[in-house]
Amino acid sequence: MFELIISLDLLQFILKLSEAKYPNKIRSNAVLAISLLTYNEKLFDEIIKQGVIDLIMELCRDQNQELQVRQYSTLALVHFALSKKSIKILISKGVLDLFDTFGSDDSGEVNVIIQTNVSWIFLALCNNGITGNEMLKKGITRDMFLVSCNPDYQ
């Protein structure tokens, strides 16, 4: 199946469906598909080669994105962060700087799904060589402490 996805260049089709010109439900499902495709090593390498991390990070940065698109975008970042192949790419592209924009909208409301995904990203970063000092400087440790102490997240 994965060879067929590669041979038919379906990844390009899925990437196209994530563009802003498509309805949010289609876009969010395209981002979810990207996230799920990271489990296959051949597709994962193709996803990395095509710069999909940049696309996903842009979706995460954009506070104007529809909530479901942002939720699936952070889930995709979790899958990238859990891979030793791409964690260094995420770090070099500034994933640590995204922690300030994760999880809240213009009203300051925090989204539980996004915060849970961010916690997984945090855990992956801790397990892959990010120092505690770096986490403190970026305010990530404080953010994760607030998440862990929030009774709404039980």
Task: Say which CATH number the domain at 84 has.
Answer: 1.25.10.10
pLDDT score, position 77: 92
Helix (H) or strand (E) holding 112: helix 112-126
- pTM of the predicted model as reported, rounded to 2 decimal places: 0.79
Q: Of 65, 71, 73, give the one whose Cα is nearest residue 90.
A: 73
Residue 56 has pLDDT above 90, yes or no: yes
Q: How many domains does the chain have?
A: 1
Domain span at residue 39 reads 2-153
Task: Identify whether the C-beta of residue 65 lies closer than 8 Å to the C-beta of residue 103.
Answer: no
Residue 110, helix vs strand vs coil = strand
Find the mean pLDDT for residues 94-117.
Answer: 71
Which pLDDT tens digit goes with each residue over 34-46?
998 888 777 888 8
Average pLDDT, the chain: 81
Residue 17 has pLDDT above 90, yes or no: yes
Which pLDDT tens digit goes with each residue over 64-95?
888 899 999 999 999 998 888 888 888 888 88
Scanning 18-95, the segments in alpha helix (DSSP H) are: 24-37, 41-49, 52-61, 67-81, 84-92
**Beta-carbon-side half-sphere exposure of residue 124 (alpha carbons within 13 Å):** 23
